[in-house]
A = this chain, B = another copy of it.
Amino acid sequence: MQKFSVKGNIIFTKDMDKFEIHDDSYLNIENGKIISISKENLFKEVVSYEGNLIIPGFTDTHLHAPQINNIGLGYDEELLSWLEKYTFPEEAKYKNKDFAKKSYSNFVNRLLENGTTSSVIFGTIHKDTTLLLAEMMEEKGLKAYIGKVNMNRNSPDFYIEETEESVEDTEEFIKALASFENIKPIITPRFVPSCTEVLMNKLGDLAEKYDLKIQSHLSESRSEIDWVKDLHPECKNYLDVYVKYSLARNNLNTVMAHCVWLTDEEKEVMKDKEILVSHCPYSNANLTSGIAPVRELISKGINVSLGSDVSGGSEMFMGRIISLAQMLSKMHYVHIDETQKPLTISELFYMATKGGGKFFGNVGSFEEGYSADFLVINDKSIQDINSRTSKERLERFLFTGDKSNISKVYVNGRRIR
């Protein structure tokens, strides 16, 4: 049985409101799980990263792997025109296995080098190449929920499915992942406008049959919300469409990206059903969607995590996503609602680790029994002449550092980079 102690300046967020900091301490790991943190090493085998920061691996709860090639492109557009011009034509290319292999290889490497050890991922409508992505992720040792995307309406001719085919391919994809260790399938209707009621219900049936989690988009931009309203006059609101057509499973079994413009009624349902919000600041800003009221969501007891939303989002490094989320929360405070205080750095770090990690179980913290998923941060290149606390060093890494400061990546106690 694997047992070892890792030395360094250990920092994490058990709770949202403050960092737990253990300088010059040991993270004791047995069989891939955290046992304890101590001032002396619990185990004989010691791996020393003395002087470096040790933090939980990041969790990214919303990103589109097939959009990796488009990252950084098209931000003179808004959501719906951006989908048509940039996204759909690119995703359609993943029918081609060779194209998919090259692109997904780049994607997997970039996740890893950015220290994103757990992620919740959209593939494309193509079963075979989404499976290829799952294989590449599994081989690398990363944790993920990966979904074959479903779309059978309001989509371009070159990138749409028949209902039966969509359901059958999804079931085959689910079965193909049965033997995977770190990768799990997730039901992935693109969003309401691209799935008929029949398809949504059938996907909901699959989720029940195989006890699967569900991911989709909710209340991203105002034009999209109007569209959903036109499509579903029988539903009270956007979220109600997912509820009515069996795609809103309870108890942290559903993650919805964006949630920028939720009504009070939708917020109540989000809370009651324990649906996880994936807040995607880069995407919401790039695509002119709006600033999600995150302070209000967390005050109401809704679970919030962070997503890069590649390639609506132009950033994969969670540190910068934390930074932008804080900036947008400050702009929300100044310009929209002064009763909603800006998000603090510890709150956002929590969302990027334990908050998103909840979707995976005991992930994203260094409490006993949590997965030993952690990053070693070497911040030499951004240190300055003054001496700084571990908290300041973490803050600086998040706000001005980058992937080059992530020197080692461990998942389940195993070094994968």
Cβ of A74 to closest chain B Cβ, rounded Å: 8
Contact present for A330 and B385 (CB under 8 Å): no
Pick from A71, A286, A399 the residue with the most CB of B within 10 Å: A399
Q: Given the interface contacts A73-B396, A384-B106, A402-B402, does A335 sit within 8 Å of B334 by beta carbon? A: no
Contact present for A69 and B400 (CB under 8 Å): no
Residues 77-95 of chain A, each 1 if its beta carbon lies under 8 Å from chain B, else 0: 0000000000000100000
Is A102 interfacial (CB 8 A cutoff)?
Answer: yes
Bound state CA distance, A323 and B285, in angstroms? 10
Q: Which residues from B are CB-within-8-Å of A395?
A: 72-75
Interface residues of A (CB under 8 A from B): 68-76, 90, 99, 102-103, 106, 222, 282, 285-286, 288-291, 314-315, 323-324, 326-328, 330-331, 333-336, 342, 344-345, 382, 384-386, 388, 392, 395-402
Q: Given the interface contacts A103-B384, A384-B103, A386-B69, does A288 sit within 8 Å of B399 by beta carbon? A: no
Q: Given the interface contacts A285-B331, A331-B331, A384-B103, does A399 sit within 8 Å of B291 by beta carbon? A: no
Cβ of A236 to closest chain B Cβ, rounded Å: 24
Contact present for A69 and B290 (CB under 8 Å): no
Q: Which residues from B are CB-within-8-Å of A388?
A: 73
Contact present for B76 and A400 (CB under 8 Å): no
Bound state CA distance, A398 and B75, in angstroms? 11
Pick from A73, A291, A315, A342 the residue with the most CB of B within 10 Å: A73
Contact present for A385 and B99 (CB under 8 Å): yes
A-B residue pairs in contact (CB < 8 Å), sample of 22: A68-B384, A69-B386, A70-B384, A72-B382, A72-B395, A72-B396, A73-B388, A73-B395, A99-B385, A106-B384, A285-B327, A285-B328, A285-B331, A286-B326, A286-B327, A288-B330, A288-B342, A289-B334, A290-B331, A314-B323, A314-B399, A331-B331
Since A72-B399, A314-B323 are in contact, a sample of 17 more A-B pairs with Cβ atoms closer than 8 Å, ordered by chain A residue number, is A69-B384, A69-B386, A71-B400, A72-B382, A72-B395, A72-B400, A74-B395, A76-B344, A102-B385, A103-B384, A285-B327, A286-B330, A289-B334, A290-B331, A290-B334, A328-B331, A402-B402
Closest to A333 in B: B288
Q: Which residues from B are CB-within-8-Å of A76?
A: 344-345
Bound state CA distance, A74 and B282, in angstroms? 22
Pick from A71, A315, A334 the residue with the most CB of B within 10 Å: A334
Closest to A314 in B: B399
Closest to A289 in B: B334
Closest to A392 in B: B73
Bound state CA distance, A142 and B256, in angstroms? 49
Closest to A105 in B: B385
Q: Which residues from B are CB-within-8-Å of A68?
A: 384
Closest to A388 in B: B73
Bound state CA distance, A69 and B385, in angstroms? 7
Q: Given the interface contacts A71-B400, A75-B395, A395-B75, does A291 sit within 8 Å of B385 by beta carbon? A: no
Bound state CA distance, A384 and B315, in angstroms? 15
Closest 6 CB pairs of A and B: A285-B327, A72-B400, A72-B396, A69-B384, A72-B399, A288-B330
Pick from A90, A286, A330 the residue with the most CB of B within 10 Å: A330
Bound state CA distance, A384 and B311, in angstroms? 13
Contact present for B72 and A291 (CB under 8 Å): no
Bound state CA distance, A399 and B388, in angstroms? 30
Contact present for B71 and A396 (CB under 8 Å): yes
